[in-house]
A and B are shown apart, each in its own frame.
Chain A
Amino acid sequence: MNYIIPVLAGFLSGLIGAMGFGGGGVLIIYLAVFMDTPQLKAQGINLVFFIPCAILATIIYSVKKQIDYKSIIPVTLGGICGAIASSIFLNNIPTDYLSKIFAVFLIFMGVSSILRLKKKK
């Protein structure tokens, strides 16, 4: 098996993820589009993969005193509750739909980030 491409996908995903640009997109896109991994498994791989990467990045940012804990705690708590609540539906979404939803989300995020960029100018 060729190791160069998965290693590159992991590196890019960690790089973009640590910069808060949505590195998750990169690994899921690689797995789902190029490797034909089932969508739910691709998403799971990305989630597990991102934990150590995010821990490392958060420690580095924290040491540099760049994290504003006071502002992020309410958002984080909401996020944890939202994740637990929505997970009930997770196994009921057919994997075909899930990849379509993911595709639409990607297109939406891509278009909206270009539009935001334009507005700033």
Chain B
Amino acid sequence: MSNIMKFLAGLSIGAVNVTLGAGGGMLTVPLYKKMGMSQKESQINAVATILPITIISAVIYIINKSVTISDTYIYLIPGLLGSMVGTFVIKKTSNKILTIVFALFMIWAGLRLFFK
């Protein structure tokens, strides 16, 4: 895949990430698989890819006054703990079960949110 194609794919990832406040990473994983990475490599590199994009997106939300940093304090410490655990268990978990559980959760939550 040429660098221009990668850049264009990145554009849409950035657009989704700032519009929906999430989801950029999930779109990056299949892209990296297409570029030849394994499933786990794709997941790991997706996190690194989405970090700068998320920083830009967050700055935009803060400038727009949609959120303040103090809104996030309560989630921060448990989030960091979860993040650390995640980097260690990623190689040991079964992707298949995780994918199915998480996919069903997303569909259920999506339906609930849609019909709210």
Contact = CB atoms under 8 A, between A and B. Distances in A.
Contacts of B106: 22, 25, 29, 106-107, 109-110, 113
Given A22-B22, A90-B19, A53 B82 contact: yes
Contact of A43 (B8, B22, B31, B76): B22
B75 A15 contact: no
A20 B47 contact: yes
Contacts of B15: 82-83, 85-86
B74 A10 contact: yes
B81 A79 contact: no
Contact of B110 (A16, A61, A74, A107): A107
Contacts of A79: 10-11, 13-14, 17, 24, 49-50, 52-53
Interface string A50-86: 1111111110111000111101101111111111111
Contacts of A72: 32, 45, 48-49
B51 A54 contact: yes
Nearest to A47: B58
B79 A106 contact: no
Contacts of B79: 10-11, 13-14, 17, 49-50, 52-53
Given A3-B74, A79-B17, A79-B50, A74 B22 contact: no
Contacts of B102: 16, 21-22, 25, 110, 113
A111 B23 contact: no
A14 B10 contact: no
B43 A113 contact: no
B43 A83 contact: no
Interface of B: 3-4, 6-26, 28-32, 35, 37, 41-58, 60-62, 64, 66-67, 69, 71-72, 74-87, 89-90, 93, 96, 98-100, 102-107, 109-114, 116
Interface of A: 3, 6-25, 27-29, 32-33, 40-58, 60-62, 66-69, 71-72, 74-87, 89-91, 93, 98-111, 113-114, 116-117
